[in-house]
Amino acid sequence: MNIYLALFLAIVLEVTGTMLLPITKEFSKLIPTSLVMIFYSLSFYLLSIAVVKLPLSIVYASWAGLGVFSVAILSYLFYKQPLNTPTVIGLFMIVIGVVLVNVFKTD
């Protein structure tokens, strides 16, 4: 499997699991809770594949940073959670940081 595809899928699965958390109603709903656990487990499995070929710091910065950015944007869209100007600026700074970490990584 392409290592960057594994990392991208890990991010997508983690974001999907996180977006489902409110629907679990404190883990009292069986299906959403099961999906969250499955998505998180698959995300960590794909992370374990990614760290075989990429430095852990790069993998984790990408996974966490892009996950935070995605969850914030999706929470605004789906859960109508507000985003103010400083928050938006901070989110874009996260993305810039992830890009910089990846562009200037040492092998």
- Per residue, what are the HEC states of 33-76? HHHHHHHHHHHHHHHHHHHHHCCHHHHHHHHHHHHHHHHHHHHH
Residue 102 pLDDT level (bands cut at 50, 70, 90): confident
Length of the chain counted residue by residue: 107
The mean-pLDDT minimum among 26-30, 57-61, 68-72 falls in: 57-61
Whole-prediction pTM: 0.91
pLDDT at 28: 98
Classify residue 25 by its DSSP letter.
Answer: T
68 Cβ contact partners less than 8 Å away, ≥ 6 residues apart? 91, 94
